[in-house]
Structure 1
Amino acid sequence: MAVANSYFVPGYGISRAVIQNEIRYHCGPDAIVRPYTFQGRDGFLITTVGPPLTKAQIDDLKMSSREYEEKQSRIANESSVFVNAPISINQRIRRGQ
């Protein structure tokens, strides 16, 4: 049985939804990706027994991420929903004891 390897991929320009959907295509059916911070940089920790992502595959993920984000933006603009609208949460305010 092959040993799984883990490695960090910086997340700049890569959408979480895209990498989670496409990682198995690039690295094999057992590949797992999760958000991760390494040396203060946000990105993804990929664990796979398959080959690591190549630069071309990372560039492909970035291109797919850009298309995904643009599509999501168009969908949000077509609806009349204000995404960052405040939502009230009924919380009790704690007072000093």
Structure 2
Amino acid sequence: MAGTNSYFVPGFGISRTVIQNEIRYHCGPDAIVRPYTLQGRDGFLVTTSGPQLTKAQIEDLKRSSWEYEEKQSRRADEADVFVNQPVAVGQRLRRSGQYQ
């Protein structure tokens, strides 16, 4: 990409799926985004030759992310799936000092 700039966007409150789907709408058709960690903070590295995201656009991404996560959780409820449900990995029974 000729004349591109890259910048970090903190990821708190922003869904990876949402930002990847909406980045071209906000920053132009050549914009790309990928997960990135800067100084221990998780977020996204945006690369584009178009305009940078404004604070209002970042807030819009957060709102869209919240709506997306709500929709996903309702979908999981309908499928009778509990995301944080314990999963049996294997039980070890102790008999005379040995594991099974």
TM interval, shorter chain, is 0.7 to 0.9
Distance between the aligned counterparts of 1:22 and 1:83, measured in 2?
A: 26
Q: Could you list the per-position Cα deviations for residues 15-39 of structure 1 after superposition, in whole angstroms to 9, with x for gaps in the alignment?
A: 0000000000000000000000000
Distance between the aligned counterparts of 1:82 and 1:64, measured in 2?
A: 23
Distance between the aligned counterparts of 2:8 and 2:67, measured in 1?
A: 23
Q: Equivalences for 1:72-87 in 2 at 5 Å?
A: 72-84=72-84, 86=87
Distance between the aligned counterparts of 1:87 and 1:25, measured in 2?
A: 44
Name 1:62's counterpart in structure 2: 62
Return the offset for 1:80.
Answer: 1.8
Identity %: 78
* Aligned CA-pair RMSD: 1.6
Return 5+ residue gaps in structure 1 as ranges: 89-97
Name 2:15's counterpart in structure 1: 15
- What code does the residue aligned with 1:14 have? I
Relative to 1, partners in 2 of residues 1:87 and 1:20: Cα closer, same or farther, differing over 3 Å? farther
Q: Could you list the per-position Cα deviations for residues 31-83 of structure 1 after superposition, in whole angstroms to 9, with x for gaps in the alignment?
A: 00000000000000000000000000000000000000000000001112333
Give the total of aligned pairs: 88
Over 2 Å off, 4+ runs:
81-88
Distance between the aligned counterparts of 1:17 and 1:81, measured in 2?
A: 21
